[in-house]
Structure 1
Amino acid sequence: MAQIIGSPGRYIQGKGELNNLCKYAASYGSRLFILTSPSGKKRVEPSIQAGKEGTGVETVYEVFNGECSMNEINRVMKAAEGAGCDMIAGVGGGKIHDTAKAVAHYMGKPVIIVPTIASTDAPCSALSVIYTDEGVFEKYLFLPASPNVVLVDTEVVSKAPARLLVAGMGDALATYFEARACMQSSAANCVGGKSTLAAMALARLCYETLLENGVSAALAVTENVCTKAVEHVIEANTYLSGIGFESGGLAGAHAVHNGLTVIEETHALYHGEKVAFGTLVQLVLENADSEEIETVVDFCSAVGLPTTLSQLGIKEVKPDQIMEVAKLAAAEGDTLGNMPFEVTPEDVYAAIMAADAIGRHYAEEGV
């Protein structure tokens, strides 16, 4: 199997870059379909419209219904076709991005991804995570290509709620550990090949960047300011993690996230918050070095990521319910199969309970 690395055609990051969306879009068409939330439209439309003059690009806005499901993908696709649009933009968060990418794929159109938050590593990937209309994980939709353009306006992202940037750190935190597991098992990555040296280097850089800048960035965005630390974390959450997970591969952390979606209480948490706990579960499965586990728990605690079931919203731990999480996480075809050893639902159950105990222990010790 060949070594393959995937990446967007262009990655653009800087303050005020949202004004240039139509300028970049003009290379791909003349009628841009923009999928965004109602609140997102209010925030981004003035900047987009201000930069539209002279580009020859017309814009059509569509409101996202909140879930990246096949029903929503089909609805949005019909709207884009009806509007006669020749390119798609997803402006907002991860589920908007995944929906826009899927719509563009099925329509055979170019896609531009514009994160207004840095809460997931979805923007750069050739992947859409599909859920049911009720928010339960359904499947991964692997796409033939990464987005044509990923455009990140760091001024916009830094003004989003701090919790969103922190959730992105949780998603990015898993990148190195999952890529490492896939490298050890020689598992295929998300673009149908084996990991490259570049992918592993980016995954490791992602982890190191979080440890070095994460706390400073989390504090800065609580003041709605964009510092160098914030810029670095935005790049780690969006690009380093995006290339690192896709070209390095997924393993235990994301599988545990998928399992957690069966518990309704966890639906109030962001993707990256659940992935952060999944990272701790994966490290327990691996019997990782205690110093490595302590570093991860310490980082999560410092920036505000969950390390216990209670912090995930699961106030009453029911063994049968946790076993359902474990069964879905270990389901055939999910990414726990990429671990360098066999993992059973019973193993996952034990690791979840042990990870919860570790999180509670360090919280009590004040680590």
Structure 2
Amino acid sequence: MTKILFSPGKYIQGPGEINNVGKYAAGLGKKALILISAGGFRRNGQDILDGFETEDCTCEFEMFNGECSYNEIKRISALVEEKQCDLIIGVGGGKIFDTAKAVAYYEKTPVMICPTIASTDAPCSALSVIYTDEGVFEEYLFLPSNPNIVLLDTEIIAKSPVRLTMAGIGDALATYFEARACVESEATTCANGKATSAAYALAKLCFDTLMEEGYKAKVALEAGALTPAVEKIVEANTLLSGIGFESCGLAGAHAIHNGLTVLEECHSLYHGEKVAFGTIVQLVLENVPLEELEDIIEFCICVGLPVTLEQLGVTEITEEKIRAVAKAAAAETDTLHNMPFEVTEESTYNAILAANAYGHQYLGK
């Protein structure tokens, strides 16, 4: 039984680090293509450019089209070849990271990931989540290696919308529960091996950090403050969750997320917000003790994560819609089957309905 742990080559986190992108890029290549959104360029482009001025590395910016789809990956790959770049840098959020990582894989270049938000655990992983151009989940693209460097400027993250960091908590919340399920079922992880004790310990540390620091970080961020609690949550959302999910495995929560992408009304929700609800569904499937279920639902409520389908945007709940979500989540190739017991489309359908009902119950307290 082979155990494998994946991690980025270097993880850098701290205030003001955006000014050092050029310094670290110079250790990886001579010409970088920087994939960024138009808004991200307005906010951070000049600081990044300034950091390249004294380095033996140049850069060119390219605006991201909005979806990590194969069409977008091909478009950026063509630009890398045309501009003769030997390094890809993704600056912004999860879909930019996943696109940058996929392009680096196809073009055989190093990749540097610079999150300006802490909304997912995507930055550290050797994985790209591929969607259609319309935003519907298509497949996971497993990559042979993790990013060479992950760099986070916590001053920038502290200025981002609080909802984004809370969405990151929602994504990270699933890490321990999915790890626990995969360890019990001895599932093959995203790293293509079995879970290591080290990765499982990081998944548990991720959960403990969220419970201890999550609400404190929310209050601090709402006040515009960068505190130790915020720093710990950024690390939990990004590094601890990233290594934990990849080297322990995904299970029910992310499969429910993938199922929810078939509903157009859920497309405006962030990845982690859907994963948070998926975590509650997974706990219902596991029939965990009431105390554990209560703790998670009440934690989600206190940090502003959705606990009902209505909060996910599904204002008109029909059997047809929920069965469509359950069918997609229970697809043969999805991670729902990493649970340590048989899960069917029917049991998933019932768990979604029950999770929604529990959410309403606790919101009504």
Q: TM-score, normalised by structure 2?
A: 0.99
**10-19 or 40-49: bigger deviation:** 40-49
Report the counterpart of residue 73 of structure 1 in structure 2: 73
Alignment of structure 1 residues 300-311 onto 2, 5 Å = 300-311=300-311
C-alpha RMSD of matched pairs (Å): 0.6
Report the counterpart of residue 341 of structure 2 in structure 1: 341
**342-351 or 214-223: bigger deviation:** 214-223
Q: CA deviation digits over 1:64-110, x for unaligned, max 9?
A: 00000000000111112111110000000000000000000000000
**42-51 or 184-193: bigger deviation:** 42-51
Please state how far the C-alpha of 1:62 moved relative to its aligned partner.
0.3
Please state how far the C-alpha of 1:219 moved relative to its aligned partner.
1.4
Write the distance in 2 (CA, Å) between the matches of 1:271 and 1:63. Answer: 21
Write the distance in 1 (CA, Å) between the matches of 2:344 and 2:49. Answer: 53
Please state how far the C-alpha of 1:218 moved relative to its aligned partner.
1.0
Write the distance in 2 (CA, Å) between the matches of 1:223 and 1:91. Answer: 25
Q: CA deviation digits over 1:247-266, x for unaligned, max 9?
A: 01000000000000000000
Amino acid at match of 1:130: I
Report the counterpart of residue 147 of structure 1 in structure 2: 147
Alignment of structure 1 residues 146-225 onto 2, 5 Å = 146-225=146-225
Q: TM-score, normalised by structure 1?
A: 0.99
Unaligned runs of 5+ in 2: none
Q: CA deviation digits over 1:193-247, x for unaligned, max 9?
A: 0000111100000011011110111111122221110000000000000000000
Write the distance in 1 (CA, Å) between the matches of 2:143 and 2:103. Answer: 11
**220-229 or 336-345: bigger deviation:** 220-229
Write the distance in 1 (CA, Å) between the matches of 2:314 and 2:364. Answer: 18
**271-280 or 209-218: bigger deviation:** 209-218
Alignment of structure 1 residues 1-367 onto 2, 5 Å = 1-365=1-365
4+ runs of 1 displaced by more than 6 Å? Answer: none
Please give the secondary structure, in 1, of the residue aligned with 2:28: coil
Amino acid at match of 2:361: H
Please state how far the C-alpha of 1:47 moved relative to its aligned partner.
1.3
Amino acid at match of 2:79: A
Please state how far the C-alpha of 1:50 moved relative to its aligned partner.
2.1
Write the distance in 2 (CA, Å) between the matches of 1:77 and 1:263. Answer: 30
Q: CA deviation digits over 1:149-168, x for unaligned, max 9?
A: 00011011110000000000
Write the distance in 2 (CA, Å) between the matches of 1:50 and 1:102. Answer: 27
Unaligned runs of 5+ in 1: none
Write the distance in 1 (CA, Å) between the matches of 2:201 and 2:80. Answer: 39
Please give the secondary structure, in 2, of the residue aligned with 1:156: helix
Write the distance in 2 (CA, Å) between the matches of 1:63 and 1:276. Answer: 30
Please state how far the C-alpha of 1:49 moved relative to its aligned partner.
1.9
Please state how far the C-alpha of 1:57 moved relative to its aligned partner.
1.1
Please give the secondary structure, in 2, of the residue aligned with 1:51: helix
Please give the secondary structure, in 1, of the residue aligned with 2:141: strand
**4-13 or 46-55: bigger deviation:** 46-55
Write the distance in 2 (CA, Å) between the matches of 1:43 and 1:288. Answer: 45
Write the distance in 2 (CA, Å) between the matches of 1:123 and 1:223. Answer: 26
Identity fraction in percent: 62
Aligned residues: 365
